[in-house]
Amino acid sequence: MYPPPPEPRRDFISVTLSSGRSYDDSKGPRRRSCWRQWKQLSRLQRNVILLLLAFLALCGLLSFVSLAEEWKALEGRSSEELNVRPANPPILPAPRKAEAKPETLPGGPPQRPQRHFRRGPPKLQMRAPESDAKDRGQDAAAPGAGAGGAGWEGAAQRTSWRGAATEPEQGTRDPLRKAEGTPKPSPQAARIPQDPAQQNERQQAVVEAFRHAWAGYHKFAWGHDELKPVSRSFAEWFGLGLTLIDSLDTMWILGLKKEFAEAREWVSEKLWFQKNVDVNLFESTIRILGGLLSAFHLSGDDLFLEKAEDFGNRLMPAFQTPSKIPYSDVNIGTGVAHPPRWTSDSTVAEVTSIQLEFRELSRLTGNKKFQEAVEQVARHVHSLSGKKDGLVPMFINTNSGLFTHLGVFTLGARADSYYEYLLKQWIQGGKTETQLRDDYLEAVEGIRRHLLGRSEPRKLTFVGELAHGHFSAKMDHLVCFLPGTLALGAHHGLPADHMELARALMDTCYQMNRQMETGLSPEIAHFNLYSQKAAKDVQVKPADRHNLLRPETVESLFYLYRFTGERKYQDWGWEILQSFNAYTRVPSGGYSSIGNVQDARNPQPRDKMESFFLGETLKYLYLLFSDDPDLLSLDAYVFNTEAHPLPIWAPA
């Protein structure tokens, strides 16, 4: 018999269900699985992931620090500063109504007004407002009412405005503090003949140049900062109508009624400062604040003072630094100030060339905070070490309050207007602040001792630079402000040899223009120090041969002619105006900076008309060609570094 077959083999699979714990009672399988997955990655993959995580952590840390600083800055400001609003109408006397008919402009010299004993502007406008003080106040309160409310009749046709504006916040703020013992303005009034028949041929040529430049701005860049005349477009810097504000007092001085009325209407309806934009403290002070203050003084229109006070309040956060040396930039909408992105330094010229404007704003409004802020800066710079016989370095740190980049001295960019404002503050204050005068005199001696040179072959006197004991025969065109400043000081009683130096430097600045093929100065010149055949005194490097339509040469020509009466200075200015017309004028409207002053056939237009061409260059040319010493008398006015005239304070 056969044995019985074996029973079939059975295989069993054992499955253990666990409620979250592994077989060895260790931690959960999910965490063990992630770790195994991490270990299974290659070394390169793990390094990339770690690098990304570190980068994200660093970004988070930096964001936290930035937000913390902004919150700290906001918490430290007062409620008034956090709610910056347009200023209330200032407490100022209304200009008296003229006896002459509104249609006529005074043909002969106007009588000098009586001294004003209340705070406010001298009666500088050539024509009184057409209505009484009450009506004028109502016109100023209504937006756009009376475009000619500055004392000129004839409302201009409304233009299509292209400037962006942000409406101001509603509400009220604390009234202005009443001024006590505020210096009075000079009682001498401006004599500004508005009748074109009183303008000589050369002045009429300046007016024609201004009209051509203004036509291009009006057509292609109205309400924007700068005209690009070649491309017939515009460029923005602050977005505040920079060219328009910079030109207000020029239009008033040149007698351009229609243009001034249109610009005044834009200021009334479109110029608001409650906008999220960074502005440079120095540039916005000399151009916008200075331009508004000057327009107020010349026209007597309270609108400009109200705008000036509002803008001045928005600049004040720049002074909130550990050293009280202001930051270079401030956001006029948020009130957050900061230094440049690449450094914590400010330039010495920028922090010491805002005093004229802030002091005058305090005098007009009675609010001392503006003057106190800038004079604290001036006192601090006066006390610093690191100077060389009155010469100052170019940079100052906003945290430590100390000079940086020691041993480098120049009268060009970043230091130039420090010296100018020493003298002009002394003159503005009625020559009572002897510390300013003494610092200026010491600086002039430092210039003589360390920075003067003589060129070959014409023996031109020039102002060079000193870097760690090494003298460089390099002179910026900006330095051509110095002849006029020296002459101004001599006129106000400083040593007579300052005028001799002014004459010598004026000849040099003229040659910087004359020796170029276009008759226009380069931005930077180098002077030949050695006798060489066929060598010119003025030499130019390729990177420096551009011209930005700068005013410094014609500015000093104005001062030299005003104080000496020598016709050659007028003739030199006329040559420069002819060169501007020949090489920078754009047929469609406007004038353009050029890239090569040594190429008369192709000067290379750079497609930019700086606001200072209208605000300074043409204004100084117009004043240079005038034979009336009382046209903005230099015994009654001091010009800021953007050519905006402000009154000299009479003794208290």
Active site residues: 283, 416, 523, 552
What b/e string do you get for 397-425 counting C-beta neighbours within 10 Å, with b at 16 or more?
bbeebbbbeeebbbbbbbbbbbbbbbbbb
- DSSP at 542: G
Contact between 120 and 92 (Cβ < 8 Å): yes
* Distance separating alpha carbons of residues 352 and 285, to the nearest angstrom: 12
- DSSP character at residue 585: B
Q: Where are the beta strands (DSSP E) in 182-241?
A: 184-185, 226-228, 233-235
CB crowding 439-453: b at 16 or more within 10 Å, else e: bbbebbebbeebbeb
Query: Rounded to whole angstroms, how far apart are CA atoms 345 and 176?
Result: 33
- The C-alpha angle 639, 212, 575, rounded to 5 degrees, equals 65
Nearest-angstrom CA–CA distance, 358 and 34: 66
Asked if residue 347 belongs to a known ligand binding site, the reply is no
DSSP 546-564: -B----HHHHHHHHHHHHH
Instruction: Report CA torsion sign: 32, 36, 37, 38.
Output: positive
Interior CA angle at 295 toward 180 and 490, to 5°?
A: 75
The closest alpha carbon to 480, from 465, 463, 459, belongs to 463
DSSP H or E run through 209: helix 201-220
Known binding-site residue numbers: 641
Known binding-site residue numbers for Ca(2+): 641
